[in-house]
Amino acid sequence: MAEIAKNLINGAWEEASGGKTFENRNPADISEMVGVVTKSDKTDVDKAVKAARGAFNEWRLSPAPKRAEILFKAGELLTKRKQELGELETREMGKILPEGLGDVQEAIDMLYYMAGEGRRLSGETIPSELPNKDCKSVRVPVGVCALITPWNFPIAIPAWKIMPALVCGNTVVFKPSNYTSLSAARLVEILHEAGLPRGVLNLVHGRGEEIGEHLALHPDIDCVSFTGSTAVGQKLAAACTEKGKKVSCEMGGKNAIIVMDDANLELAVEGAVWGGFGTSGQRCTAASRIVVHSDVHDKFLDMFAGAASRLKIGNGLLKNTDIGPVISSVQMEKVLNYIDIGKKEGARLVAGGKAYKEGNCARGYFIEPAIFSEVTPAMRIAQEEIFGPFVSVMKAKDLEEAIGIVNGTKYGLVASIYTQDVNKSAIAERDLDTGLVYVNASTIGSEVQLPFGGTKRSGFGHKEAGGRGGAIDMFTRWKVIYRDYSGRLQKAQIDR
Ligand code: NAD
């Protein structure tokens, strides 16, 4: 049965003011309507921002450990509904169920992790150069945050932003991707049920071009955290900076795996399949390039193409499915168009690359996992983010050349290296110009307690998630406090 996703504004679930809706259909079978979503316009955004502003002062002043208790409770509620939400994600955006469940688990991890942060959020005390005076720096919330998210992690990415924003004392207007409105609504419903006061978290559904920019640039928004494409992120980062807003953007990638001549090839192939074709290649961290040492290139390619052709394509709710559909007809056309581009550029298609319509896949957006070899670094298929089951394999004569190829794009999110040689690993860790580096593991697998984000055109501003430099830095400002209890005028630098 089709579900309904409404806006949540000032604690009330409501239809958008214009009364319009749009449909979300299952990309594995577009005859299935997953839900009907209310379609907001700018009036709804204004209302949501006003509600968030109205709730800010009280929420800011509530003790952080109390705010954290609500997150902890939401963690327990989400744990109980993990299966239901994992299945909803699979129906809404196509990823296979184990990945859908993993996505929900990541949100649960983030809820518990950020609940713990409620009892930390620590600053520093630093000695003064003057007697009877103390100095400290404290974290304060930024204000009202606009959080804008993509569809490929419908629950985890929103959780990466909402939980730290709330525990730090900010209020939120959340605009999820229109492809995954229902999953987003269920997450917000759980936080609401866990006891968030009204207005603290508001949800508006709709298309990015229609309401996203209006939300981000709204004069009453203090902080914008965006995850999505580089094209949109760059534009938002520039416009928000110009308006004096705090802004962070996590954007696209062209991630790569290096396979050295001493690598455990079975392990590297498994990593390439998982990195290249997990979530049908629709992860910001997807391994869309594999750079292989010339001495093992042919053997690796054979093994990789064999493994890819054995992947079972189908509806992600069915057991044994390895690879689900891509998100939409537009995305399907885009990936198939890149297959043509690759052929025209002179690369060799060694596996897949066709629309897949067998059995019950006829009404979905399925593509056979594609592998190109004889790809050279300047080709478009080696430079541009494709965001589908599409991997370009390249050759390198040594580690230095491989690192040069990996670093030679405008992106810098993730790189990985397979090698048994500790010295090569150390050089790669040092010289790969990406936000995350994996050794003997694929490009996928970040954990919530460490920071996440890219360099160059993959990331702008603060990183996401936990650890030093992570989301707590994004959602707080440092305030410095000097308190003089000497009872007289003391002058720093002058009284000596
Ligand atoms: P997208 O940029 O089309 O949309 C992302 C979000 O922004 C959506 O909510 C959308 O409605 C909204 N939006 C669109 N146009 C807007 C505008 N002009 N102003 C404000 N908001 C707008 O991206 P997508 O297709 O949803 O997601 C895929 C992209 O996201 C890929 O490039 C992928 O690499 C990237 N991504 C990055 C990360 C990361 O952490 N680096 C994680 C996941 C996805």
Q: How confident is the model at residue 468 (pLDDT cuts 50, 70, 90)?
A: confident
- Which protein residue's CA is at the shortest distance from atom 20 of ligand 1? 212
**DSSP code per residue over 359-377:** GGGTTS--BPPEEEES--T
Same domain, 433 and 418: yes
Which of 145, 168, 284, 361 is the catalytic position? Answer: 284
Instruction: Establish whether residue 250 lines the binding site of ligand 1, counting it when its CB lies within 6 angstroms of any ligand atom.
Output: yes
Q: Is residue 191 part of a domain?
A: yes
Q: Residue 26 pLDDT > 90, yes or no?
A: yes
Return the sign of the alpha-carbon dihedral for residues 443, 283, 253, 158: negative
Residue type, 130: L
Instruction: Establish whether residue 465 lines the binding site of ligand 1, counting it when its CB lies within 6 angstroms of any ligand atom.
Output: no
Same domain, 259 and 228: no
The total of structural domains in the chain comes to: 2
**DSSP code per residue over 203-248:** E--S-IIIIIHHHHT-TT--EEEEES-HHHHHHHHHHHHHTT-EEE
Same domain, 218 and 340: no
Q: Can you tell me the distance from the alpha carbon of 284 to that of 413, in angstroms, rounded to the nearest whole number? A: 8
Please give the backbone phi and psi of residue 404, each rounded to the nearest 5 degrees, phi first. -60, -45
Same domain, 376 and 265: yes
pTM over 0.75: yes
Q: Can you tell me the distance from the alpha carbon of 459 to that of 252, in angstroms, rounded to the nearest whole number? A: 8
Over the stretch 130-145, which tens digit does the pLDDT of each residue have? 999 999 999 999 999 9
Q: How confident is the model at residue 301 (pLDDT cuts 50, 70, 90)?
A: very high
Instruction: Establish whether residue 413 lines the binding site of ligand 1, counting it when its CB lies within 6 angstroms of any ligand atom.
Output: yes
C-alpha distance from residue 163 to each of 5, 16, 106, 109 (Å): 21, 25, 12, 11
Instruction: Establish whether residue 106 lines the binding site of ligand 1, counting it when its CB lies within 6 angstroms of any ligand atom.
Output: no
Q: What's the mean pLDDT in 437-463?
A: 96
DSSP-based three-state secondary structure for 133: strand
Q: For residue 250, indicate whether it is catalytic.
A: yes
* DSSP letter (8 states) at residue 320: T
DSSP-based three-state secondary structure for 6: coil
Which of 99, 106, 117, 250 is the catalytic position? Answer: 250
Q: How confident is the model at residue 333 (pLDDT cuts 50, 70, 90)?
A: very high
Same domain, 321 and 217: no
Residue 212 CB partners (closer than 8 Å, separation 6+): 148, 175, 206, 232
Q: What's the mean pLDDT in 193-220?
A: 97
pLDDT at residue 360, rounded to an integer? 86
Q: How confident is the model at residue 270 (pLDDT cuts 50, 70, 90)?
A: very high
Q: Which one has a higher pLDDT value, 2 or 170?
A: 170
Q: Residue 110 pLDDT > 90, yes or no?
A: yes
User: Contact 268/300 with Cβ under 8 angstroms?
Assistant: yes
Q: How confident is the model at residue 496 (pLDDT cuts 50, 70, 90)?
A: confident
Q: For residue 333, indicate whether it is catalytic.
A: no
Q: Can you tell me the distance from the alpha carbon of 393 to that of 405, in angstroms, rounded to the nearest whole number? A: 11
Q: Is residue 448 part of a domain?
A: no
| Rg, C-alpha atoms of the chain | 24
Q: What's the mean pLDDT in 399-407?
A: 98
Cα-to-centroid distance, 324 and ligand 1 (Å): 20
Cα-to-centroid distance, 398 and ligand 1 (Å): 36
Q: Residue 105 pLDDT > 70, yes or no?
A: yes
Report the share of the chain in percent with pLDDT over 70: 100
Q: How confident is the model at residue 1 (pLDDT cuts 50, 70, 90)?
A: low
Question: Of ligand 1's atoms, which has the minimum distance to the CA of residue 253?
Answer: 34
Q: Can you tell me the distance from the alpha carbon of 204 to that of 135, in angstroms, rounded to the nearest whole number? A: 42
Q: Can you tell me the distance from the alpha carbon of 266 to that of 452, in angstroms, rounded to the nearest whole number? A: 28
In terms of phi and psi (left: phi > 0; alpha: psi -120 to 50; beta: otherwise), the region of 487 is left
Chosen domain end from 409, 439, 469: 439
Please give the backbone phi and psi of residue 401, each rounded to the nearest 5 degrees, phi first. -65, -40
Cα-to-centroid distance, 176 and ligand 1 (Å): 9
User: Contact 228/206 with Cβ under 8 angstroms?
Assistant: no
DSSP-based three-state secondary structure for 284: coil
Over the stretch 221-246, which tens digit does the pLDDT of each residue have? 999 999 999 999 999 999 999 999 99
Q: Which one has a higher pLDDT value, 15 or 467?
A: 15
Q: What is the mean pLDDT of the chain?
A: 97
Q: What angle is formed at CA 380 by the lines to CA 376 and CA 381, rounded to 5 degrees?
A: 75
Which domain, by its residues, includes 379? 255-439
- Residue 328: which CATH number? 3.40.309.10
Cα-to-centroid distance, 148 and ligand 1 (Å): 8
Instruction: Establish whether residue 324 lines the binding site of ligand 1, counting it when its CB lies within 6 angstroms of any ligand atom.
Output: no
Q: How confident is the model at residue 168 (pLDDT cuts 50, 70, 90)?
A: very high
